[in-house]
Each structure stands twice: as structure tokens, then as C-alpha cells.
């Protein structure tokens, strides 16, 4: 059965009621740049088992089963087959406050990126344009401070965010931005084992082997935004955190390239943070 409805409140409410009457075990939709949010949140509010899947996974599945054409009807059929065959895990949809914090963090990152671009332009463009650039830089700085304050105020309103932030920021080198990013982008933190959490972030080296050939192991996949923030935090940690400073220097002494050593430190950090949240313990209670 295939049909279409407008992506509007009333039609969505009607389809949700139909789905509730069918006793479904899994509803799968692909992420479409927030276009899916209205339907997803309506399903979640109705306690329906909704799963949002990366569209890349759907496309690769379609190619694997030989479906190369792409129309709305074909896509719906492929997603249905993907749901029945792969049965992706049903994960909780973040609550409204958590979604707000995530959106604020994304906006802060966007503003920082624009700020960096303007600073670069200040270095290369003629002085006649400096006044315009500096005006925009002042505006961006004000907006960044405002957004950062809004994030702090939003976090304070959620008890489990406050508690987890206190645990995470007890680690020297882990600031509020990294803590908020982890809680927003990695809700699995504290619930998985060390190998699973490292693979989820994308800091676990993957084997590349075939027969007698052994390739160089590299990190793959994972959550890019988390890795970006963690990389910057680790540059601070290897300066102010004696545990990670010693580990970094040990890796360098073994001949590891600086970037490889930093990635290894990031892997160690995410494993440590995962354990701390799991055990609800602060850094000062740890020796490594």
C-alpha cells in the first residue's frame, strides 16, 4: 500500500491515529534535513516506535538489492524493506529541551565558523575593507556570547544534564562545550562498552585485511561533529591534564605521528568519560 499526505499538522495527526490502531512494531523514516521532524515528533508524542535512519544507509541498502531508480514510491518501498530486513534499533527521541540545546550548539558552531572566516579575510583583504570586517566580527562575538549564555541557561533547567555536565567537566581539558556536545550528540555515552563507544564516535581504528594482505588500520565513520569538538579539547588536555599529557608523549616516543597520537588520546578520553558516566564518578576519584 502506497499513499501520500501533506507534511502538515492535521494530515500527520490523522496518519498517527491510523498507525496507533495498527499495533505497529517499528516505523522507519530517513532523515531529510528536518523535513521529517513534524512526523517524528508526532509519533514520539503518541508513543509510537519511530526510528530515524541515515539516508546513506537506505541508499546503500537500495544499491545492494539492485534498486537504482529513485522515486517517492520506490523510496517508500525500499525503506519498508530496509525496516523489515535490518530492523534498526528503536532509540528514544530527544526531549524538547535536549533538542533546543542541540540546536543552540549547532548555531554556536555556525557562528564560530563565520567568525573564523572573517578573521581570515581580515588577514588577506585590503585595509579599505577592514572596517566592514571588524564590524561584523564584533556582531558575531556578541551573538556567540548570547548563544553560549542561552545554552548554559537551558542546561541548568534539566537535572540530568546538570549532573552529567558536572561529571564530564571534572576532567581537566573537558569544557562545557565538549560536555554539552557529548550529551547532545552522544546520548549513548555511559550505556555502552569501551569498544562500542569508541566505534560510535569514530575513533576506533578499523582493520583492513584480505587474505595475507594487512593494510594500515584507519578510523572510519562515526559522528563528525563530536570528533571535531573532541580534537580541539584534546589539544588543551595534553597541555593541562597530566594523564593525557603522559599518554601523548608516550605515543610520540613510540614514533606515532602527532595527529595519530591525538586520535589515540581522544579514544582514551571517550572511554574514560563513558566509564565515569556509567559509574557516576568524578575525575578526582580516578588515577587514570
Cα first-last separation, the chain: 57
Counting Cα atoms < 13 Å in the Cβ hemisphere of 282 gives 8
Residue boundaries of the structural domains of the chain: 9-86, 96-157, 180-210+217-279
Q: Which three cell numbers stand for residue 121?
A: 579575510
Predicted local confidence at residue 98, as pLDDT? 87
Predicted local confidence at residue 168, as pLDDT? 95
Predicted local confidence at residue 66, as pLDDT? 95
Predicted local confidence at residue 185, as pLDDT? 87
Q: Which of 203, 229, 232 is nearest to 108 (CA)?
A: 229
Assign 3-class secondary structure to the chain: CCCCCCCCHHHHHHHHHHHHHCCCCCEEEECCCCCCHHHHHHHHHCCCCEEEECHHHHHHHHHHCCCCCCCHHHHHHHHHHHHHHHCCCCCCCCCHHHHHHHHHHHHHHHHHHHHHHHHHHHHHCCHHHHHHHHHHHHHHHHHHHHHHHHHHHHHHCCHHHHHHHHHHCCCCCCCHHHHHHHHHHCCCCCCCCHHHHHHHHCCCEECCEECCEECCCEECCCCHHHHHHHHHHHHHHHHHCHHHHHHHHHHHHCCCCHHHHHHHHHHHHHHHHHHHHHHCCCHHHCCC
Q: Which of 55, 89, 49 is nearest to 75 (CA)?
A: 55
Q: Are 152 and 177 in contact (CB under 8 A)?
A: no
Predicted local confidence at residue 221, as pLDDT? 67
Predicted local confidence at residue 206, as pLDDT? 59
Predicted local confidence at residue 30, as pLDDT? 93
Q: Which ranges of the chain have pLDDT less than 50?
A: 287-288
Give the span between the Cα atoms of 101 and 222, in whole angstroms: 21
Segment 135-193, tens digit of pLDDT? 999 999 999 999 999 999 999 988 889 999 999 999 999 999 999 999 988 888 998 89
Amino acid at each position: 500500500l502506497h499513499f501520500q499526505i501533506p507534511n502538515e499538522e492535521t494530515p500527520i495527526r490523522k496518519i498517527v491515529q491510523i498507525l496507533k490502531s495498527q499495533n505497529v512494531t517499528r516505523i522507519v523514516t530517513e532523515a531529510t534535513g528536518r523535513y521529517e521532524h513534524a512526523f517524528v515528533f508526532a509519533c514520539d508524542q503518541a508513543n509510537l516506535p519511530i526510528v530515524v535512519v541515515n539516508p546513506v544507509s537506505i541508499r546503500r541498502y537500495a544499491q545492494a538489492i539492485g534498486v537504482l531508480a529513485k522515486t517517492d514510491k520506490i523510496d517508500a518501498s525500499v525503506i519498508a524493506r530496509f525496516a523489515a530486513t535490518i530492523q534498526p534499533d528503536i532509540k528514544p527521541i530527544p526531549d524538547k529541551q535536549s533538542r533546543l540545546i542541540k540546536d543552540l550548539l549547532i548555531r554556536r558552531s555556525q557562528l564560530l565558523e563565520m567568525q573564523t572566516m572573517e578573521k581570515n579575510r581580515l588577514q588577506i583583504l585590503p585595509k579599505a575593507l577592514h572596517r566592514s570586517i571588524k564590524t561584523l566580527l564584533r556582531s558575531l562575538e556578541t551573538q556567540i556570547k548570547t548563544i553560549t549564555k542561552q545554552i548554559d541557561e537551558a542546561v541548568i533547567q534539566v537535572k540530568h544534564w546538570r549532573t552529567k555536565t558536572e561529571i564530564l567537566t571534572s576532567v581537566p581539558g573537558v569544557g562545557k562545550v565538549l560536555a554539552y556536545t557529548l550529551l547532545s550528540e552522544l546520548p549513548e555515552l555511559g550505556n555502552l562498552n569501551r569498544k562500542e563507544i569508541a566505534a560510535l564516535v569514530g575513533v576506533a581504528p578499523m582493520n583492513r585485511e584480505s587474505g595475507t594482505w594487512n593494510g594500515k588500520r584507519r578510523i572510519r565513520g562515526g559522528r563528525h561533529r563530536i570528533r571535531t569538538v573532541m580534537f580541539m579539547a584534546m589539544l588543551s588536555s595534553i597541555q593541562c591534564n597530566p594523564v593525557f599529557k603522559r599518554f601523548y608523549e608516550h605515543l610520540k616516543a613510540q614514533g606515532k605521528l602527532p595527529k595519530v597520537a591525538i586520535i589515540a588520546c581522544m579514544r582514551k578520553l571517550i572511554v574514560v568519560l563513558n566509564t565515569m558516566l556509567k559509574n557516576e564518578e568524578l575525575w578526582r576519584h580516578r588515577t587514570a
